[in-house]
Structure 1
C-alpha cells in the first residue's frame, strides 16, 4: 500500500509539471496574440493612411473574392508565402489605380441621369422619325394613286380634244418612269391626220399651238381654273384654226374666265369685253374699252361640246389605245373626220353673231363671265405697255 501511494504521488507530480508547462505555453500564446493584435492595428492604421481610408470596404471586397482558388492550402492552412505574394500583387494594383476619388459616385449618378435623359430623347426622336416616315409613305401612296388616276383622266381628255381640234389624228401622254410616276417625265405625242412625225418639234407652229391648247383644255376638263390668260396663243393659227380656237374658248368660258392678248380680229369678235391700248397723242397711251352684248350659244358651240363629250365616251368605253410608233402613218380617208364639220363652219357664224351694234361702255358690268381680249393693234397706231385689269 505504501509503495502504491508513492507511485500515485509521483504521477501527480508529473501531471503538475505538465500542467505548469501548459500554463507557460498558454501565457506565451496570449503574449504572442497580443503582439499580433498590436501589429494588426498598426497595419490597419498604415493602410488607412496610405490609401486614404476605405480599409473596411477593401477587406469586405477581398472577402468576397474567390481567394481560395488563388491560395493553395498546406494541411488545411493557407500558405503565408502565397498570401504575401498575393498581397504584394494587390498593393501594386491599388497603386496603379491612384488615389480614391470620393466624388466619383456623385459624378456617376449625374452622368447616369444625363445618359438616361439623352436615351429617352433619342427614343422620342426615333419614334417621331418612324411616324414621319410612315406618314410620308402614306402621302406618297395616296399622291401616286391620285396622280395616276388624274393623269389617266387628262390623257383621255387630251386624246378627245386633240382629235376634235385636228378632225382625227393620234395623240397620247405617256409616263417615262412607271415605277415612280411622281418623279417621272411625261412624253407628249401628237400625230395629226396624214402626218408621220416622231417629235412634236417637227410639227408646224399652228399644229404645236393646237397641241398645247389640247393639253391645256384637257386639264381644264378635269379641274377647271377660274381664270386663264393666253398671250397671243392664236398667233400661229390660220383662219380655219382660229375658228376652232374661238369655239373652244366659248365652250370653256362656261367655267373659266379667259383673258386673251391677241392681234387677230376673229378672236376679238368672240370676246365679251374688249380693251385696247393706243397712243392718240405722242407719248400718251390711252386705254379704250368696249363691251359687247352677251351672245347666245351657237349651234357650233353645242356641236363642239358634244363632239368632245362623244369622243370621251368612246374612249371610256374602249380599252386604252396601244402605244403607237410615231413613224407609222395613220390610215385615214380623204376629207378627215365627219366631226370636223361644225368646227370648219364656225367662221361664218362668228361673223353673223358679231354684226350687231355694240353696247355702251357701262354695259360690261352686267355681262356674264366670258372671254376678254386685249387689243394690241387698235387703229394701226403704235402701242405702249400698260396695266391690264380683268373686270367682270
Structure 2
C-alpha cells in the first residue's frame, strides 16, 4: 500500500486545483522558502484528520482556506483528496484504491468522505490505524518534530512507540472501549440513582394496586351477586305482572263483550229514535182520518147544496142572486191566495225547523261519542291516579253519575215533550260532574296536573254542550210540532175555502145556466148529485181504511212501547254490568300500574347500584329462570358493599401510574443489567486489549531498541544508544487517565461525552510508563540527550525514526525538512539510510538538501507567483538522466 496521488484545492496557498502523483521510493519536493512547499505536508496531515491548528500552523479553522491576495480573491472552501493504492489490501477494505477526502467551509462546517461516501473521523482514524498510519507520529514528520522526539517527556515518547509497535488500532479500540466504559458506568450510576428515587413510590403503588385488584375482585363478586339478586326480584315482579296482565286481558275481553251488547241495545234504541214518534204518527193518521171525514162532510154539504140548487133551478132565481154569488167568489179567491201564501211560508219554516232538528240530533250524537272517548280517557287517568292515591269513593261517585246520565239519555230517547224537567235534570248532572271533577283534581294536584286540567275543562265543556243540545233538540221538536199544527190548520182552512169557492163557482155556473136554459141546468145539477153520492160512497170506504190504520197503529204502538221499556230495562242492566266490568278493568289497571311502578323503581335502583348497563345485564340474566333466596342475596350484597367501604376509594389512575412506574422500573432494571453486563464485557475486552498491546509492545520495543543502536552507530561511526522503560509515580492532576484520554479523543471527534467520574483519594497518584533515551556518541561518556549538540540530537532522532520505520514501516512517511540541520557528511549518510528504507516504505521529503534530492525518483518544484498562489513543476530523475546522457553523447 502506498500514496499514489494527492489533490489539493483551496488549501492554504494552493488556490488552484493541483494534483501530485507519487511512486514507490522517494519523492522530493523542493522550492524556495515561502513558496508553499510545506503546505503539501500540512495538506497530508490535514486530510489524515489532524485537529490541532497549532500543528497546521493556524489559529482558526478557516485559516486552512486560501485567504486571497492582491490579485486573487479568497475562496470559500478547502478540499484535499488523498488516493492510496490498496492493491495489496494493506487496509482492511475491499477496494484496490482508497480515496480519503476532507472539506471545510468558511462557516466552520466540514465533512469527511471515503471513496466519495460520507464518513466519520473515527472511521478514518481506525482505517488508517489498521494500515499502520499515525496522525501525529512518524507518518508525517514536520519541522521541529525531529528534535521534539528527544526533548518530549517519557510518557509522550510512549505514544510514539505505541504507534511504532503497531498497536495503534488496539489503542483506538481500547480508547473507544474506555469511553464506552466510562459512559456505561455513568449511565449505570444515573440509572441506579433514578431507581432508588422511584423505588419507594413503586412500593406504595404496588400496595395500592393490590388493594385495587382486591376491590376489583369484590366488585366483580358484588356485581354477580347483584345480577342474581336483582334478577330474582325482577323475575318475581314480571311474574306478578304477567298474572295481572292476563287477568286484565280477560276482564277487558268481558268488558268489551258487554260493551258490544250495550252498543247493540244502544243501536236499537237509536233505531227506534230515528223512527217517527208515536204522537207524530198518530197525528198523521188522525189528520188523514179527519181529512177524509172533512172530505165526506164537504161532499154531504155539496149534496145538500145540490139539492138546494135543484130547488133553486126549479124556482129560477133572479139576477140578484147571481151578483151576490159573484161577489162571494171574489172574496174567497182572495182568501185562498192569502192562506196559500201563509201555508207556503209555514212549510218553509217547517223544513227549516226539521233541518235544525236533524243538525241538533247529529251534534248530540257526536257529543255522545266524545263523551264515550272521554270516559275511556278518564278510566286511564283513574288508573294512573291510583298509583298515588285510593279512589274508591271517586270511582263510585263517577259510576253513579254515569248511571244518571244514561237514564237521562234513555228519557230523551223515550219522550222529549217535558223539556223543563229535562233541563233541570241535565243542569243537576252538570253540577254533579263539576263537583266530581273538583274532587278528582283536589286528590291529584301532584299527578299529571296538565292532563287533569285539560280533561276537567273538556268534561265541563262537553257537559255544557250536551245540556244545550238537549235543550235545542226539545225546543226544535216542540216548535216543529207547533209549526206542523199551524200547517194542518191552514190546510183545513184552505180546503174549506177552496170547497166553498168551488160550491159558489158551481152555483154561479148553475145560476147562469138556469137563467139561460133551465132544463139543461137541472140536468147538470142532477148529474152532480149522482157524482156526489158516488164520492160519498168512496169516502166511506176510505174512512173505514183510516179507522183500521188507526187501530193497527195503536196495537203496534203498544208493542213498540213494550219493546222500548224492555230495551231500557235491559240497557240499564247491561250498563250496570258494563260499569262493574269497567271497575274490574280499572282495578286491575291500578294493580298493573302499581307493579309497573315497582318495576320502574327497581330499574332505577338497579341503575343506581349497577350503572347504566345494569338493566340490560339484568334483562340478560332473567332470559333463563333463576333460583335463589332473595333475603340471603340481599344480605350478601350488603356484606360485599361493606367490604368495598372498608377497602376505600382508590384513584383509577393508580393503575396507569403503576404501569408506567413499573414499566420504567423494569426498563431501568433491564438497562442496569445490560449496563453491568456491558461493563463486564468492556472490562474483559480492555483486559484482552491490554494483553495484546503489552505483548506486541514488548516485542516491538526490543526490536526497535536493537535497530536504534545499530542505526545510531551507523550515523555516528560508533558510539552507543539505548532505550529503556521507566515507571514514574505522578499525581492524577498532572496526567490524564486512559479513560480521560479516550473521552478527550471522542470530544475532539465531535462525539457525545459523559461527565467524568470524580476522582477518589486513591486515584490522586498513579504509576505511568515512559521511555528514556540514552545516547553516547563515539569518544564521549554516556550522558543525557539534553547535553547533545543540535546536530547530534538531529542524528539521534533520525536514528530513532529509522529504527521505528525499519521495525514497523508505515505505507508512507512525509519528512518536512528533517535534514535541515545536517552537514554534508551526515546528509550523505542520512540519504543512504533513506535509500535503504525506501524498499520498505514510501518517502515524501520536503528538503533543500542535494544529497536527499539525488536519492529521489521524482522531484517536484514549488513556486509562487505574484498572485500568491503556489504552483507545481515535476521532474522524474531517471528521465532527466537519460536526457542529460543524450545531450552529453552529442
TM-score class, shorter: 0.3 to 0.5
Higher share in helix = 2
TM-score, structure 1 normalization: 0.45
Higher RCO (CA 8 Å, separation ≥ 6 residues): 2
TM-score, structure 2 normalization: 0.21
Max radius of gyration: which structure? 2
